[in-house]
Amino acid sequence: MRVTVQFRSRVQKRLCRFFYFKMFVTYILYSKGFDRFYVGSTENIHSRLLRHNNKMIPSTKKYIPWTIIYTEEFKTRAEAFTREQEIKAKKSRKYIEWLISSSK
């Protein structure tokens, strides 16, 4: 039995780190039919949106379809979660609308 090992070059190692670098997102969803917002955070925004729209999230399943209208990216899950809590703590629809309008 023969085993070969290939070592990566420095460039390949850097590229691997780049492609496997995870970004965490704080997001705001909007339900046009019900005129509602939802604030959350996740590592994979696209799969999370699918879960919301496939009625897999109890707090949002009554208000589908959802669309992503605002995102902020962070390097750590803790930063994204902290930002989510800051937005939710405002308890203000006007603040959310201001965030959305200022990002355009």
Residue with tokens 């009554």: 62
Mean pLDDT (whole number) for 18-38: 87
> By C-alpha distance, which of 40, 17, 44, 14 is closest to 27?
40
pLDDT of 50 > 90? The answer is: yes
Mean pLDDT (whole number) for 37-62: 95
| Contact by Cβ (8 Å): 48, 54 | no
Residue 16 pLDDT grade (very low, low, confident, very high; cuts 50, 70, 90): low
Q: What is the pLDDT of residue 3?
A: 40
Integer Cα distance of 76 and 66 in angstroms: 25
Q: Report strand pairing: 67-74 vs 24-31.
A: antiparallel
- Order the strands of the 24-31 sheet from edge to edge: 36-42, 24-31, 67-74
Where does residue 51 fall: left (phi above 0), alpha (psi -120 to 50 degrees), or beta otherwise? Answer: alpha
